């Protein structure tokens, strides 16, 4: 087989799959009024159920729009209004148009206010036997 044939046999979708990205998809959630009368347990159940239905709609939308080969993983729903999605940049960019999707952030774009522990500042742990030997 010639080199020319090898290069032409690689489809654009195969090239896309080589650069998968992880993202966090923020979903619409029920209004505060809908949840106001709920007990904590009921609120948790309703949010989880709502997000499960939103995930199902998202999976159908992905399939209907021909993105099934580009979306590798969609996390299971929780009570939080987020799903973790792994796919090609093209597919992730298209998810903005899916039902129930409010916002998409790449995994690396998410920041927290948690302090970073430098390696030199990290505590070292010893077993109880080691600490007794040093005494």
Instruction: Give pLDDT, residue 76.
Output: 94
Instruction: Give pLDDT, residue 8.
Output: 41
Mean pLDDT by 10 residues, the chain (135 residues): 43 61 93 92 94 96 96 93 94 95 80 54 50 51
Instruction: Give pLDDT, residue 12.
Output: 53
Global pTM exceeds 0.85: no
Question: For tokens 């489809």, what's the residue?
Answer: 11
Tell me the CATH class for 17-110: alpha beta
Instruction: 120-129: list long-range contacts, CB under 8 Å, 24+ apart.
Output: none
Domain ranges of the chain: 17-110
Alpha carbon distance 106, 25 (integer Å) = 9
Considering only CA atoms, which of 108, 89, 107 is closest in space to residue 24? 107
Instruction: Give pLDDT, residue 26.
Output: 94
Considering only CA atoms, which of 68, 109, 107 is closest in space to residue 91? 68
Provide the b/e sequence for 75-93 (b: ≥16 CB within 10 Å).
eebeeebbbebbbbeebbe
| Residues 67 and 87: beta-carbon distance below 8 Å | yes
Instruction: Give pLDDT, residue 107.
Output: 75
Instruction: Give pLDDT, residue 50.
Output: 95
């Amino acid at each position: 087989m010639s080199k020319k044939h090898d290069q032409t046999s690689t489809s654009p979708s195969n090239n896309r799959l080589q650069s998968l990205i992880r993202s966090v998809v923020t979903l619409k959630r029920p209004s505060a009024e809908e949840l106001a009368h709920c007990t904590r347990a009921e609120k948790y159940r309703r949010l989880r159920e709502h997000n499960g239905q939103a995930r199902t709609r998202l999976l159908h939308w992905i399939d209907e729009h021909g993105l099934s080969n580009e979306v590798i993983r969609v996390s299971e729903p929780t009570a939080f209004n987020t799903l973790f999605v792994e796919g090609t940049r093209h597919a992730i960019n298209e998810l903005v148009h899916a039902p129930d999707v409010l916002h998409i952030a790449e995994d690396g774009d998410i920041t927290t206010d948690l302090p970073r522990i430098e390696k030199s500042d990290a505590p070292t742990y010893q077993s109880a036997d080691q600490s007794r030997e040093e005494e």
